[in-house]
Copies of this chain bind each other. A is one copy, B any other.
Amino acid sequence: MRLTRYFLPVLKETPSEAQIVSHRLMLRAGMIKQASAGIYSWLPLGYKVLRNVERIVHEEQQRAGHIPMLMPTLQSADLWRESGRYDAYGPEMLRIRDRHERDLLYGPTNEEMITDIFRSHVSSYRDLPMTLYHIQWKFRDEIRPRFGVMRGREFLMKDGYNFDVDYESAIHAYNRHMVSYLRTYERMGLQAIPMRADSGPIGGDDTHEFLVLADTGESEVFYDAAITDLKFGDRKVDYDNRDECAEIVKEWTTPYARTDETHDEAIFNQVPEERRRTSRGIEVGQIFYFGTKYSEPMGATVVNREGQHVPVHMGSHGIGVSRLLGAIIEASHDDNGIIWPEGVTPFHCGIVNLKQGDAEADRACEQLYDALTAKGLEPLYDDREERAGAKFATMDLIGLPWRITVGPRGLKNGVVELTSRKTGESEELSPEVAVARVAEIYGK
Contacts and interface: CB of A to CB of B under 8 A. Distances in A.
A72 B35 contact: yes
A41 interface: yes
A184 to B, nearest CB: 19
Contact of A35 (B7, B50, B71): B71
A106 B104 CA distance: 12
Contacts of A374: none
A383 interface: no
Pairs of residues from A and B, 10 with the lowest C-beta to C-beta distance, nearest first: A9-B121, A42-B70, A36-B76, A41-B71, A91-B99, A47-B69, A39-B72, A99-B141, A47-B70, A44-B69
A13 interface: no
A51 to B, nearest CB: 8
Nearest to A104: B36
A94 interface: yes
Nearest to A156: B70
Given A35-B113, A132-B44, A96 B99 contact: no
B141 A41 contact: no
B50 A70 contact: yes
A65 interface: yes
Interface string A69-107: 111111110000000000000011010101100101010
Given A43-B117, A73-B73, A74-B39, A94 B94 contact: no
B33 A98 contact: no
15 contacts: A7-B127, A9-B122, A35-B76, A39-B72, A41-B113, A42-B70, A44-B68, A44-B132, A47-B69, A48-B68, A50-B70, A72-B137, A73-B154, A74-B106, A94-B99
A70 B39 CA distance: 12
Given A9-B121, A43-B69, A75 B35 contact: yes
Nearest to A43: B69
A105 to B, nearest CB: 10
A139 interface: yes
Interface string A117-148: 10011100001001010100101010100000
A6 interface: yes
B50 A141 contact: no
A5 B65 contact: yes
Nearest to A110: B41
A5 to B, nearest CB: 7
A52 B69 CA distance: 13
A33 to B, nearest CB: 6
